[in-house]
Chain A
Amino acid sequence: MTTARSSLSILALALATGAQADEIRVLNWQGYGTDTSFASEAFQEATGHSVIHEYFNSEQEMLTKLRTNPGAYDVVMINAVFMPQAVREGLVTAIDTAEVPNYTGIPEGFAADPKLMIDGEVYGVPWTWGLTSFAINTSAIPEAPTSIQALWDPAHAGRVSIRDDALEAMQLAALATGQDINEIADLGAAEAKLAELLPQLRTFWSSENDWNQFMAAGELDIATYWSGSAARSAALGLPVEFVVPEEGAIGWLDSLAVPASSSHQEAALAFIDWMIDPAFYVQWDAEGAPASANADAAAALPEDAFNRRVLGDPEVAARVRFQGELSDETRETYLRIWQGLKAAQ
C-alpha cells in the first residue's frame, strides 16, 4: 500500500513539473542502431526516458505485432515500402515534425518520398538508407565475385544463406534474372531462379547476430546482407566483404514511425529526433552503420568512412535500384510463390 501511494505521489510530482520519465518500447531489427547501449544511455541521461527493445524477424511479423499488440510499442522502424500499408491499416500516426528538430536536416528527396508522406502528412521520419546485396567470407572466397550469380555457384553449395523473406527473395531473383525489381514481368523466371537457389542454402538467417555467428563459425561462404550491417560485421573483425554486383543491388529507405496506439508520443518523438541526430550517427557509424538519411549527419562523417567511400561512389550509386511501392496483390503473390518454394523443400 505504501509503495503504491508513494509511486502515485512521484507520478503526481512528475506530472506537475512536466518532467515525466517514460519507458518507451522500440520495435526494430535486433542489433540495428536503436538498441546500441550508448544510444539508450545517452538518451536516458538527456531526457530521463528509458528505452526497452523489442525485435521482429520479418517486416510481415512487424506489422502483425503492431496489429495484435495495441499499446505495446512507442517507436517502430518501418521500411518505407511497408509504410503505405501500415498507414492504410491505421497502425501508425501522423508526426508533427516541429517536435523533431533534426527533421530539417533531411533532404527533400527522402522527406517527400510518397511512401512516407501521404496526403501531406508525415508518417515516417527517414532514418537510414542502404543496400541489400550480398557479402562474402573472405577467408573462403579470396577474390570478390562481380556477379550476383556467385550465390548460385555450385562451388558454394550448402554454404549460402538468405533471409526468409518473400519480398527480398523475389527482388534478389529479379536482379539475377535481369528484371526490374519493382516490376517483375516474368514471375516464372524469378520463381525458377529461386528454386535453383534454395538447395544451395545452408539455412535462413534471421538477424545480424545470427549472420555474424554463422560467419564466425565458418559455416557460410556467401550470404545476402545489408550494407550497414556488413560495415558493422567488418568492424567486429569478421572476414567479410560487401559486394555490389554488376546486376545491381536493392536500395531501401528505413524510417522511424510512431504507432497510433502509443501512449508516450512525446517521448517517442524525442527518441526519433535523437536517432537522426548527427551526434548519434557519427558514433553509430564508427561501429558500422547504414547511410544516414539526414544530410547533416552524413556530412559529419569522416572522409574515409565506409558510407562515404562505397555508397558515395557514383559508379556504385548507378547500380542501386530503389524499392518502389508495392501493391497488396503483388505482395500476396510474392508470398504465395515463396511459400510454395519453401514447402517444396
Chain B
Amino acid sequence: MRRPLLPVLGRLWLALILVFLYAPIMVMAAMSFNASPFYQLPFSFSTRWYAEMAGNPQIITAALRSVSIALVVTLIATALGTAASIALFRYDFRGKKVLQLLLFPPIAIPWLITGTAMLIFFFAIGLGRGTPAVIIGHVALALPYVIVTVTARLSSFDITLEEAARSMGAGGWTVLRRVTLPWIAPGMVAGALFAFAVSFDQFVVSYFLSQPGDSTLPVLIYTAIRKGFTPEINAISTIIITVSMAIMFIATRYSRFGGER
C-alpha cells in the first residue's frame, strides 16, 4: 500500500502544466474560427478562414505533397527499419553495439546541423533541392524511431518459436512471414505511425531541402508566418495539429509507449 507523498498541491501543479501545454493551442485553434482578419475580439464565430484555405491552391497542393511524402517515407522507413531490427535482434556479431549507437545521430544531433549538412551534400552530388532530397532526409530521421519501436516489441518475442517452426521444416521466409512478422505487427504499426508523424511534422530539414514552389506544409506555414499572420494559417495549423495528435494518440496506444507495463 503506497501512501500519497504529495498532497493536493501536486495535482494542482499537474493541472497547471496541462493548461500551459494546451491553452495556447486552444487559443490558436479558436482564433481560426474568429471572423476578424486581425484577430480582434470580441469573438464572432465564422468558418470563413476554412473556406478561404480550401480555396487556396497553394495550401492544398502543399498539404497533399506533405501527405504523399509522409506516406512514401513511412513505407520505406518501416520496411528498412523492420528488417534492420530483426537482424539486430536475431544475430550476435562484432560491431553490433556500434550499429546500435549509429542510430542516435539522426535523433540527437540538432536538425539544423543535419539539415544544412544534407543541403551541402545533396548539392555537391548534383541532386540539389526538391522532393527526392526531402524524402531521403525524412527517411533517415524516421528510421531510428521505427527501429527503436520494433525492437521494443521484439524484446518480448520468444526466439524459440522461430526455431520450433524451422525444426518442423519451415523455410526462412515462411518463418519470417508466418511467425515473426505477425508477432511484431503491432510494433510495426506503431513504428509506421511514428515515421509518418516525423515526416508530416518535419520542418527544419524540409526547410533546407525543399524547392521553392514545391514546399511542404510546414515550410509554407513558416514562410507565411514571416510575412505576417493571417487566420488562414490558424485554420491550416488547427488541422495539422489535430491530425498529428490523432496519429500519435493511436501510435502510443499501439506501442504502449511509456505506459503501464
Contact = CB atoms under 8 A, between A and B. Distances in A.
A217 B38 contact: yes
A55 B213 CA distance: 10
B41 to A, nearest CB: 12
Nearest to A27: B212
B129 interface: yes
A288 to B, nearest CB: 17
B227 A206 contact: yes
Interface in A167-220: 206-207, 209-213, 216-217
A25 B38 contact: no
Interface in A38-61: 52, 54-55, 57
B123, B128, B227 — most chain A CB neighbours (10 Å): B227
Contact of B213 (A72, A210, A216): A72
Given A55-B227, A209-B228, A217-B38, A68 B213 contact: no
A57 B38 contact: no
A69 interface: yes
B211 interface: yes
Interface in B95-142: 123, 128-129
A209 B37 CA distance: 12
Contacts of A72: 211-213
Q: How large is the interface on B (under 10, 10 to 19, 20 to 34, 35 or more residues)?
A: 10 to 19
A84 to B, nearest CB: 24
Contacts of A27: 212
Contacts, number: 41
Contacts of A206: 226-228
Given A69-B129, A216-B38, A217-B38, A55 B223 contact: yes
B180 to A, nearest CB: 38
A130 to B, nearest CB: 20
A73 B212 CA distance: 9
A30 interface: yes
Interface string B215-230: 0000000010011111
Contacts of B227: 30, 55, 206-207, 209-210
Contacts of B223: 55
Contacts of A212: 228
A207 B213 CA distance: 19
B123, B228, B230 — most chain A CB neighbours (10 Å): B228
Contact of B228 (A25, A52, A213): A213
A27 B213 CA distance: 11
B38 A65 contact: no
Contacts of B229: 213
Contacts of A209: 227-228, 230
B212 A69 contact: yes
Interface string A49-92: 00010110100000001001110110000000000000000000
Contacts of A207: 226-228
Nearest to A57: B226
B228 A210 contact: yes
Interface in A211-259: 211-213, 216-217
By Cβ-Cβ distance, the 4 closest A-B pairs, closest first, are A210-B228, A209-B228, A207-B227, A213-B228
Interface of B: 38, 123, 128-129, 211-213, 223, 226-230
Given A25-B212, A209-B228, A213-B228, 14 more contacts: A27-B212, A54-B212, A55-B227, A69-B129, A70-B128, A73-B212, A206-B228, A207-B226, A207-B228, A209-B227, A209-B230, A210-B226, A210-B228, A211-B228
Interface of A: 25, 27, 30, 52, 54-55, 57, 65, 68-70, 72-73, 206-207, 209-213, 216-217
